[in-house]
Amino acid sequence: MARFHCPDPEINEEDAPQITHQELVVSPSLISAAEAETFEKKGNSWFAISELPSDLTVIIDDVTFYVHKYPLLSRCGYLKQIELQPSISNHGYELNLQNIIPGGPETFEMVMKFCYNLAISLTTRNAARLRCAAEILDMSEELEEGNLISKTESFLTFVVFSSWKDSIAVLKSCQTLSPWAENLQIVRRCCDSIAWACEEGASGWLNDVVTLRIDHFKRVMNSIAVKGMRAEFLGSCIMMYAEKWLLGNDDDDERLEGKKELKWSIQLVQGWKHEGVDQLRGIIESLVGLLPHQKDATSCKFLLWMLKMGVVHSISSVLVSELEKRVGMVLENASAYDLLIPNGDQGTQVIKSRDDQTMYNVDSVQRILEYYLMNEEHQSDGTANVSKLMDSYLAEIAEDPNLSPTKFQVIAESLPHAARPCDDGLYRAIDTYLKAHPALSEHNRRKLCRILDCQKLSVDACSHAAQNDRLPLRTIIQVLFAEQVKLRATVIRKQEASNTDNIEVQEDNCSSLKEEIKRLKVELDKMMILIEELQRDHINLQQECKKMRSNQKAIFGWVFGWKKLKKTALFHGRMSEKENSEGKEKVKRRSSILRFKRGQSMS
């Protein structure tokens, strides 16, 4: 005999609400008499086909179940905690389970069949829902042996959790079962089962795991990390998940076909169209939080792509800083294209200054470079690679019309002087910037060109710079002087090499070497003369500028006085003396040049 939360069937229905349920005892014969042979659905209603008329109406959502109270009372302890209300529409009782049973009418239908001893089929699709419903309805062993809680627990333990594929299927079914699935440890046990399968090297495991919702994927990754899996494996899982949920299908973008290096491209692909902005932001932030701390866990290209995505979708500044630090650790593996981070402020807030209108986020790259320089582990060869990278990056952003020369200069000067073995890349970037900003003042041009070390320019770069009218005159002079020094060094090296060679080889090559030395000396003389002329032109240009800055009144007075002076005899005498002195000076200059050439040829 068992006690139930129900009135005795022999008592008048009108007296039922006044009777205490716990004091009633019902014979099992009444339960067996109410057992249904089957369930029948008509419209939005289910009917238990039995010898006895139904005496309990259960309402869930828009579906009504006409059943008997005794089979439910025999297995559902939940009914002990409530008072069954008399039904208004017919004789019997009414039970409203709106928003209580996980899975709604479909789950409750299986619960009813179980209570009526009808066959039900437990699958990975319904096991978690039935386990949660059994817990809510308190279908424990205390009421009846082999009740629904124990049945579903056995199925989960011995069938589901022994297979990672079934665990993934059940985990997906738990997406709408919060918080019951969490409280019953179904989610945790599924994640542990999936993690064990990963440790055993199950094939195809990752393809199924990346289909999980982000919160469940995060739980699986944490379970894997606890088991001590390699950081590279965790990184590959995270990159594959991002590829599926954030990148979309590469086939949708023709530009990505056959170009693996553009795989992590900041493009608005088709995969984003069905996702909300907040959901995308949540996925990005969760993936950043999962990234292993080891340097080689993920590629630099992927980290920069995540940084671009984070800036575009306005993730928290803390996570942006974390990504910048991670990129700084592996900056030598980046490319100039990867560093083109979009300006996240554009289009999201009022622009307050001209610098905020830049196409690319230069400040972020500046911070990345600072993190790299603070890392003491980088080697000299890595620094050389980073210097080439930053010069290429400067050439890429130089065409931005809103990029200030200050920001350009700050990045260019961030690297130590010894980091650049050659300044050809920096010269190309500066020349591109000057070409894209023709209105730049002379002061800013000189300031920008001071970054260049003309001694580190190649012969081709020097030849180009010597004829570049965009450069300031002082820079051109420095380039010509550097080229002269290189020619002189070449002559010295050849002379030293000739002195150390074999005497017989010297005699054979003596004539050709002398001819080469003579040619180089002639070029040096021409270069010296050109430099002197440029210096004189520069001095004359400065003097003329000073004269032009004098006040207008002084200019008029000087012109008027000049006209009077020309009429005097003293003026004509002075002019004759000046012409004579200039003639003598030219004679002295020519004689000194001839003496210099004669001395060089004798040497």
CATH at 138: 3.30.710.10
Show the domain range for 38: 32-160
Does a structural domain hold residue 139? yes
- Predicted local distance difference test score (pLDDT) of residue 125: 94
Residue-wise pLDDT for 163-222, tens only, equals 999 999 999 999 889 899 999 999 999 999 999 988 777 678 889 999 999 999 999 999
- Predicted local distance difference test score (pLDDT) of residue 16: 36
Burial class (CB in 10 A: 0-12, 13-18, 19+), 329: buried
The total domain count for the chain is 1
Does a structural domain hold residue 85? yes
Structure tokens at 193: 């089962």
Query: Cα(550)–Cα(541) distance, rounded to whole angstroms?
Result: 15
Contact 180, 102 (CB under 8 A): yes
Contact 378, 372 (CB under 8 A): yes
- Predicted local distance difference test score (pLDDT) of residue 42: 86
Contact 103, 65 (CB under 8 A): no
Query: Cα(134)–Cα(255) distance, rounded to whole angstroms?
Result: 53
SS (H, E, C) 191-219: HHHHHHHHHCCCCCHHHHHCCCCHHHHHH
- Predicted local distance difference test score (pLDDT) of residue 12: 37
Strand ranges (DSSP E) for 70-143?
A: 85-86, 93-96
- Predicted local distance difference test score (pLDDT) of residue 310: 94
- Predicted local distance difference test score (pLDDT) of residue 276: 64
Query: Cα(366)–Cα(52) distance, rounded to whole angstroms?
Result: 81
Does a structural domain hold residue 235? no
| Residue 155 identity (one-letter amino acid) | F
* Residue ranges in 124-204 assigned as alpha helix (H): 127-136, 148-155, 164-173, 180-183, 186-199
Q: How far apart are the first and last CA of the chain?
A: 129
Does a structural domain hold residue 517? no
26's enclosing H/E stretch is strand 25-26
- Predicted local distance difference test score (pLDDT) of residue 94: 86
Question: Who's near 175: CB < 8 A, 6+ residues apart?
Answer: 213, 216
DSSP assignment letter at 440: -
Characterize the bridge pairing of strands 56-60 and 93-96.
Answer: parallel
Specify the pTM: 0.72
Query: Cα(241)–Cα(321) distance, rounded to whole angstroms?
Result: 22
State the Cα angle at 258 between 254 and 263, rounded to 5°.
80
| Residue 567 identity (one-letter amino acid) | K
Does a structural domain hold residue 497? no
- Predicted local distance difference test score (pLDDT) of residue 329: 92
**230 Rama sector, left if φ>0, alpha if ψ -120 to 50, beta otherwise:** beta
Does a structural domain hold residue 597? no
Query: Cα(488)–Cα(8) distance, rounded to whole angstroms?
Result: 118
Question: Who's near 302: CB < 8 A, 6+ residues apart?
Answer: 239, 242, 264
Other residues' Cβ atoms within 10 Å of the Cβ of residue 165: 16
DSSP assignment letter at 243: I
Query: Cα(187)–Cα(194) distance, rounded to whole angstroms?
Result: 11
Burial class (CB in 10 A: 0-12, 13-18, 19+), 533: exposed
Contact 495, 510 (CB under 8 A): no
Does a structural domain hold residue 58? yes
- Predicted local distance difference test score (pLDDT) of residue 527: 73
Does a structural domain hold residue 363? no
**143 Rama sector, left if φ>0, alpha if ψ -120 to 50, beta otherwise:** alpha
Residues of the chain under the 70 pLDDT cut: 1-37, 89-91, 202, 248-276, 345-356, 376-381, 497-514, 516, 520, 549-603
Strand ranges (DSSP E) for 345-469?
A: none
